[in-house]
Amino acid sequence: MNMHQPIGIKPHHKSANKQKKDGASRFFSDMFGLKHLRNYIGEIMFFRSLPMVTKSKVSADTMEEDRLPARPPKLSCTNWVMTRTLFKGSSQSNATQDQCLESVLPLLRRRCQILCAKDDAPHRYANEKPKLEHELKSIRQTLSALLLEDIRITFYDAYCEHQPFTGATTVHVLNAVCRQLDIPSTVEEIEVLQMKLDMTFDDDEQRALEEDITGKILWLCWCGICAEVDQLLPKIVDHIRREGYMMGLSEISNIIYCAEIEPDDDQVHLQRIMLDAGAGTSKHQLWLAARAAEEAKWSSTTRDTPTINNNGSTPDTSTQTLSQPIA
């Protein structure tokens, strides 16, 4: 044993790394509103295994409770194999699914029971409804606002159908796009963009690269969440159906519909760059194209501009008639 080695360095190093990863997990969980979303779809495990390492710290200055963070920390995806395993929703064990559902079923069953007894127990209904409205409005202020609309339609359709839920009704079109996501390629693209960003000094190009990186990371997170929701939501609906509280799901669907709220500028911006990434739109490529067009424009202008001689005058390029001597 080396007596000169400082005690506790390795444990401290591991502790610091764990705190950084936990901070990134909480950061993105807040961005997607998982604190309240879990009351309707169960526990989302994606961020617990977030295979990314933060390059900049996530502190109280960058995270505010019940508010959408202004911008995410810079991330570097280091292991796409770990990322890929998070999207294998169909291979998730029943034990893991049961663990995810444990956080939602007791509360959701109790709420559906209360909402079903709207006429018989109006006081309980009046006490419970504002709680749902607060939660749903909070979710509306996060990137999971799109997913909330999916939940609303699924709950309402399940109530109207009164038949075993197949999970094939109204899944958001973005979920179908997520299933086509090439995880290794996306992670490699993020790493390439990060390297370009590190070597770029132009402010406008830096902003374009930052948008592309952030958008791709958010899209990866979105697809990871959707993969879990696709498996959990049908089980939740089937459980509530067996309990006989389908009217409660209809009430929740109606409350979601009424819980409209205008998104702030940060949310609109992050949602746009996330959807742009999903659609394959690159802000950096658009910036490069605009710069090339501008350079071509200036190059053409330079060629068309007459050259100034040393005396400061522009030479006459018109045809000159030589004077003929008089015979």
Residues 42-88 have pLDDT tens digits of 888 887 765 443 343 333 343 344 444 444 444 444 433 334 444 54
- Between 180 and 207, the more confident residue is 207
Residue 276, pLDDT > 60, answer yes
Nearest to 146 by CA among 277, 26, 33: 33
Lowest mean pLDDT among 164-178, 211-225, 238-252, 280-294: 164-178
pLDDT at 178 over 50: yes
Residue of 163, 165, 164 whose CA lies nearest to 154: 165
Looking at per-residue confidence, does 25 or 106 come out higher?
106
Q: Which residue in the block uniquely carries the two structure tokens 């961020």?
A: 47
Tell me the pLDDT of the chain averaged across its residues.
75
User: Residue 248: left if φ>0, alpha if ψ -120 to 50, beta else—which one?
Assistant: alpha
Among 237, 229, 218, 261, which Cα is nearest to 69's? 218
Mean pLDDT of 117-137: 92
The CB-side HSE value for 226 (13 A sphere, CA atoms) comes to 24
Give me the mean pLDDT over the 121-125 stretch: 92
Tokens of 103: 């956080």
Instruction: Please report, for the chain, the start and end positions of each structural domain, with discontinuous segments joined by +.
Output: 30-55+95-295
Q: Place 274 in a pLDDT band, splitting at 50, 70 and 90.
A: very high
Instruction: Examine the pLDDT at 212 and tell me if it is beyond 50.
Output: yes
pLDDT at position 319, please? 44
Structure confidence at residue 207 (pLDDT): 94
Q: How far apart are CA 144 and CA 297, in angstroms?
A: 43
Least reliable range by pLDDT among 22-36, 74-88, 101-115: 74-88
Q: How many Å is the Cα radius of gyration of the chain?
A: 29
pLDDT confidence band for 231 (50 / 70 / 90)? confident
CA distance 140 to 275: 16
**pLDDT value of residue 200:** 92
Give the dihedral of Cα atoms 76, 79, 84, 87; nearest 10 deg.
-50
pLDDT of 277 > 80? The answer is yes
d(Cα 121, Cα 78) in Å, to the nearest integer? 54
Locate 42 and state its tokens. 């169960």
The DSSP symbol for 74 reads: P
The residue that leads in pLDDT, 306 or 208, is: 208
In the predicted model, is pLDDT for residue 108 greater than 70? yes
